[in-house]
Amino acid sequence: MTTQQQVPIDRTKMRAAYRKGLWGAFWLAVLTLGEFLVFAVGDGTTWGSLALIPFIFLKAWIILDVFMHVKALWSPDH
């Protein structure tokens, strides 16, 4: 059986993390609305669907950065 030491919570970092998560969720919602509008206004062809690709990449980047913390893999303290 191992004992765990309690680590004090850094409230400043926690607030910053919450804020980053809320901004990430906000931008995902905005990009989803933009995707919908581009699709609704578009002509329904394959070329019209290519206009959605930037939205897909931006949303993927936000999810990977904000919610999956992929950049932390390359930080020196990881």
User: How many other β-carbons are positioned within 10 Å of the β-carbon of residue 45?
Assistant: 8
* 52 within some domain: yes
Which pLDDT belongs to residue 78?
60
d(CA 48, CA 38) in angstroms, rounded, equals 8
* 8 within some domain: no
* 60 within some domain: yes
* 5 within some domain: no
* 9 within some domain: no
Decide: pTM greater than 0.85: no
| Backbone CA torsion sign across 56, 61, 63, 66 | negative
Q: Which domain holds residue 47?
A: 17-72
pLDDT tens for 24-53 read 999 999 999 999 998 888 777 777 788 899
- Say which DSSP state 77 is in: T
The structural domain count of the chain equals: 1
* 38 within some domain: yes
| Backbone CA torsion sign across 40, 46, 50, 51 | negative
